[in-house]
A and B are shown apart, each in its own frame.
Chain A
Amino acid sequence: MANIAAQRIKREFKEVIKSEEVAKCAIKVELVNDSYTELKGEIAGPPDTPYEGGTFVLEIKVPETYPFNPPKVRFMTKIWHPNISSVTGAICLDILKDQWAAAMTLRTVLLSLQALLSAAEPDDPQDAVVAKQYRENLEMFQITARHWTNVYAGGPHVNSDCDDKIRRLVDMGIEEHQARAALSSYNWDLERATEQLFS
């Protein structure tokens, strides 16, 4: 790893650890290996959003050319959000692509991601299905996002209606996450989800 990248990550790492957001448990960074090329981030779901109460884990890969190129960040915690792939966790955020600037840091990236959770950009989607639901049925989107937060990120809101429908599909031999993804995509319409799964 280029010296400048490692040096910078070391300095940033200290900055994040000392920052007041860490004191408030809003963001966190951990080392995954000794060479500072891979890190694990954590952000708390922002209040007054369906993600409230959840903890979202991020995979951060630092390229050799950092900070001239952005770090590669992906959600490891499954999340229902128009700008984040519900399958791979890939993020559509301008500062992680063409709007990256060398003066940005891990801390600003994590805070930007937190801001993305409170303000989605459905017109620049990463996950077309989620974005469509967000635009056409906001209430259904919030129910789904809150349910995913509960199941995958440890959020507090249990939705027994969603759980029941998933159990019905699991009883038919469908894998649980597959059932949840299908139901989420079809606005929790059990019949249509079943049709899609068995077609």
Chain B
Amino acid sequence: MASGESNSNEIESSLAQESSINDAYSAPEARFECPICLAWLRDPVLTSCGHRFCRNCIYSWLEREHACPVDNLKLNKEDIFPDNFTRREISQQRTKCPNIVRGCLEELSPLDVEAHLLVCKFRIPELPDNEKLRCSFVEVGCEEKFEDEPELQRHLDQQIQKHLTLLSQAYAKLSVNNTSAGAVASTSAIAQQANFWDPPPKNSSANVPEDNVNTLLRNLYEKIVFLEQKTREQDIIIANMSEQISSYNLSMSKLHQRYCDGCYLWHCADFKSKLNIMRENPHVMYYSPGFYTSPNGYKLCVRINLSPKDNNYLAIHIHVMKTEHDLALDWPFSGRLSITLIHPMQSFKSIKETMMTRPELDAFKRPVQDMNPNGFGYKEFVLVEEIFEQDFIENNQLLIKIQAQPV
């Protein structure tokens, strides 16, 4: 028997290895493992095909099948021999009891571990007090503790009466506290708010004067809640209305383009930055929204860009656009088109050009895309310089008027 001191040392050194010992116990090395029960070989036998099994395991298997469980080769009881070599090796193995952490110093053959665990004096003890599950009613004085969830559940099911009693006692104490410490001090603000919703006392005439403050507060509180609710409702109404207004605005602007009767005024906003972008990239073009020559007539739009030949000139073209009623229109589009660059102050300075459509041009054929790729107009409508010198720009906006009259 080792001395007390060396004992404790041994425990400490084995503490660190606890997990590995447990693993070794639960999963033996492959050569000591029976492929059928996956545990340590017990009375190992060797088959003619070279596999080891527990004697009982392989005999049980051979009662059903006559093939090796591992490689499916034919196998009979005559092809099995005791493997005393492996038996000796296993019997020489020593594992420590998994309870070594709690002080069991037993060293065992792996085959005996299971049997030993059932009787080991150092079995996992009941959980220490602080790890036990407390009864859910501990707050009101139930001191019971439990090892696991099902046990707790059973207790809760059985002790309803006791828990109810504890609860009612606790409640009684609570209400005593309330009155003694004064209603205002001990109840939380939320509880007070809830109080305001209580129905007024039936015998309101018996109210003592100091309740007037409470009555006032209650009235105020009710009013606030009412107003808050109303604000929320109003917010929703306003949000809905502004949504409606913006959708109306959208359809209104479309309406205007539809009912302009072929006379459309394009406010080309932010003209200077558009011009800068076009100067940087000569391929950039700007298009006006589409407008109609009559409510169910042709749909046109204006395009401006810098003339590809000479980028000192602004080009203005008109494009025919696709509509849903193109079928009902005559093609190619024919009529009179005029483009006017409006001078914002002096109307005599405005530049107006009128042209007649030419039926042979692709620009006036029925559009197959959203818009005919070919437009009709002037590549050199006006010098850009002139636009600025003659003050055509007002509020950074260029005004172009289109008049289209189908014939």
Contacts and interface: CB of A to CB of B under 8 A. Distances in A.
Interface of A: 4, 7-8, 11-12, 14-15, 67-69, 99, 101-105
B70 A11 contact: no
10 contacts: A8-B36, A11-B26, A11-B27, A67-B37, A68-B60, A99-B72, A101-B65, A101-B67, A102-B57, A105-B38
Contacts of A14: 26-27
Contacts of B72: 99, 101
Given A101-B69, A101-B70, A12 B60 contact: no
Interface of B: 26-27, 35-39, 57, 60-61, 64-65, 67-70, 72
Nearest to B65: A101
Nearest to B114: A7
Contacts of B68: 101
Nearest to A67: B36
Given A14-B27, A101-B69, A101-B70, A8 B37 contact: yes
B77 to A, nearest CB: 15
Contacts of A67: 36-37
Contacts of A68: 36, 60-61, 64
A69 B39 CA distance: 18
Contacts of B61: 68, 102
Residue from A8, A14, A68, A99 whose CB has the most chain B CB atoms within 10 Å: A68
Contacts, number: 42
A43 to B, nearest CB: 22
B264 to A, nearest CB: 43
A68 to B, nearest CB: 6
A105 B64 CA distance: 18
A103 B35 contact: yes
B69 A103 contact: yes
Contacts of B38: 7-8, 11-12, 15, 105
Contacts of A11: 26-27, 38-39
A8 B69 CA distance: 15
Contacts of B57: 4, 102
Contacts of A12: 38
A21 B407 CA distance: 79
Contacts of A4: 37, 57
A140 B61 CA distance: 44
A15 B37 CA distance: 13
B318 to A, nearest CB: 43
Contacts of A103: 35-36, 69-70
A86 to B, nearest CB: 31
Nearest to B39: A7
Closest 10 CB pairs of A and B: A102-B69, A103-B35, A103-B69, A101-B69, A11-B38, A102-B36, A103-B70, A102-B61, A8-B38, A4-B37
B142 to A, nearest CB: 27
Nearest to A99: B72
Contacts of B35: 102-103
Residue from A15, A99, A101 whose CB has the most chain B CB atoms within 10 Å: A101
Contacts of B64: 68-69
A16 B36 CA distance: 16
Residue from B27, B38, B65, B69 whose CB has the most chain A CB atoms within 10 Å: B38
A105 B69 CA distance: 11
A7 B35 CA distance: 13
B151 to A, nearest CB: 14
Given A67-B36, A68-B60, A69-B64, 16 more contacts: A4-B37, A8-B37, A8-B39, A11-B26, A11-B27, A11-B39, A68-B36, A68-B64, A101-B65, A101-B68, A101-B72, A102-B57, A103-B35, A103-B69, A104-B69, A105-B38
A103 to B, nearest CB: 4
Contacts of A69: 64
Contacts of B60: 68
Contacts of A102: 35-36, 57, 61, 69
A83 B77 CA distance: 35
B149 to A, nearest CB: 12
A95 B37 CA distance: 18
A14 to B, nearest CB: 7
